[in-house]
Copies of this chain bind each other. A is one copy, B any other.
């Protein structure tokens, strides 16, 4: 058995990033520190700084690694563009479920460099299908942007629900959390929040995943409608 032990594996940027993702997944952003990292990798901080410029770069690298992995799924041969878009979007959605830190980090990453390394990955995966949808080229950027922004927006919002529910005491899970949130909406000031109160029941009963895909369909419907409505625009 020539099993390589962990401590034998040489230090490298890839290994540091992988360890950072593990730490992020198991302990959360707060616990990702250079101290924790040096311990897990059994080195000194200086060794890590040799491979990585600073903590921001490390977080960017971790985010990009996870996004790249999520978006790399090739669409099935028989998939329609619509199905392919749904599956790319769903891949990203599920990544934010699997890595609760991803959503906030995605936003932070965009703030660091808006059209940096992460956006093109998502943009490419979605855009190919937008093109396949038969959009005129002039609409590609707008349509793909809208789709991507919707997905990022959901990521920021909904993925957190899962993490939130998971953090609740024991069996008080997702459903109970939505119950609480729904009641909070019902308790809002009737004068200031009539609409939100009216919709509290739909919040309670909704399923994040279904909801997310409905939103994707809605944006897709908008893309198709805009493409058809086309030229005439006041």
Q: Give the B-binding residues of A (Cβ under 8 A).
A: 100, 103-104, 106-108, 110-115, 119-120, 123-124, 127-128, 131, 137, 140-146, 148-161, 163-164, 181, 184-185, 188, 192-196, 198-199, 202-203, 206, 211, 214-215, 217-226, 229
Copies per assembly: 2
**Residue pair B154, A149 in contact (C-beta under 8 Å):** yes
CB distance from A138 to the nearest CB of B (A): 8
Whether B114 contacts A157 by the Cβ 8 Å rule is yes
Told that A146-B218, A219-B222 touch, could you supply 11 new A-B pairs with CB distance under 8 A?
Answer: A103-B110, A110-B156, A113-B164, A115-B184, A115-B185, A140-B198, A146-B214, A152-B156, A153-B156, A217-B222, A222-B223
Q: How far is the CB of A86 from chain B (nearest CB, A)?
A: 13
B127 near A211 with CB under 8 A, answer: no
**A181-B117 Cα distance, complex, nearest whole Å:** 10
Which residue of B has the minimal Cβ distance to A140?
B199
